[in-house]
């Protein structure tokens, strides 16, 4: 198990409409012993989330149809335990989006980002989720 991320044995959903970003995320996580599913847009992610559970969701913000913010809001209503397992990824951070992320305590990464930054944030999110679960 990689102590940096804690991904060993975890199930991850990557949501992005850009195949290059998906490839990059897959490459960055290739040595982790985890299961990764992909969705090419928010609607496909919505369907996967409705029918399955995930330990971590990495979602782009800007996607056609159902964007990352709307997907997050859906999760908060239907599967609230997943909102603490979500990281938004964006190449177009603005004041409104940053304010939204801060208001709901949602971690985010700005594109481009390094594999190291991704793994550190994943480790932090999973650790917080585990602490939250153990305190219940």
Residue 69 domain-assigned?
yes
Is the residue at 2 inside a domain?
no
**108 in a structural domain:** yes
Q: Is residue 113 part of a domain?
A: yes
Ramachandran angles phi, psi of 40, nearest 5°: -90, -5
Q: State the total domains in the chain.
A: 1
pLDDT at 18: 93
Q: Write the pLDDT tens digit of every residue in 103-131.
A: 999 999 988 889 899 999 999 999 887 77
Task: For residue 133, tell me if it sits in a domain.
Answer: no
Has residue 21 got a pLDDT over 60?
yes
- CATH number, domain at 112? 3.40.50.2300
Q: How confident is the model at residue 1 (pLDDT cuts 50, 70, 90)?
A: very low
Domain residue limits at 46: 11-128
H or E element, residue 88: strand 86-90
Residue 56 domain flag: yes
Asked if the structure places residue 26 within a domain, the reply is yes
Q: Count the helices and strands in the chain (H runs, E runs).
A: 5, 5
Residue-wise pLDDT for 38-86, tens only, equals 999 999 999 999 999 999 999 999 988 888 899 999 999 999 999 999 9
Six token digits for residue 93: 């951070």
Q: For residues 94 and 82, what is the distance between their CA atoms, to the nearest angstrom?
A: 24
* 9 vs 36: CA distance, rounded Å: 10
Find the helix packing angle between 68-78 and 42-51, rounded to 10°.
20
Total residues found in the chain within this entry = 136
Average pLDDT of span 28-42: 93
In a domain, 17, yes or no: yes
């Amino acid at each position: 198990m990689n102590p940096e991320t804690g991904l060993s044995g975890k199930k991850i959903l990557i949501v992005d409409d850009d195949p290059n970003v998906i490839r990059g995320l897959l490459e960055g996580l290739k040595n982790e012993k985890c299961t990764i599913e992909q969705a090419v847009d928010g609607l496909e992610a919505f369907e996967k989330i409705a029918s399955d559970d995930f330990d971590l969701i990495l979602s782009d913000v800007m996607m056609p149809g159902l964007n990352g913010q709307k997907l997050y809001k859906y999760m908060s209503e239907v599967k609230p335990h997943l909102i603490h397992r979500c990281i938004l990824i964006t190449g177009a951070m603005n004041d409104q989006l940053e304010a939204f992320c801060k208001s709901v305590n949602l971690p985010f990464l700005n594109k481009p980002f390094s594999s190291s930054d991704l793994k550190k944030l994943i480790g932090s999110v999973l650790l917080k989720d585990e602490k939250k679960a153990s305190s219940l």
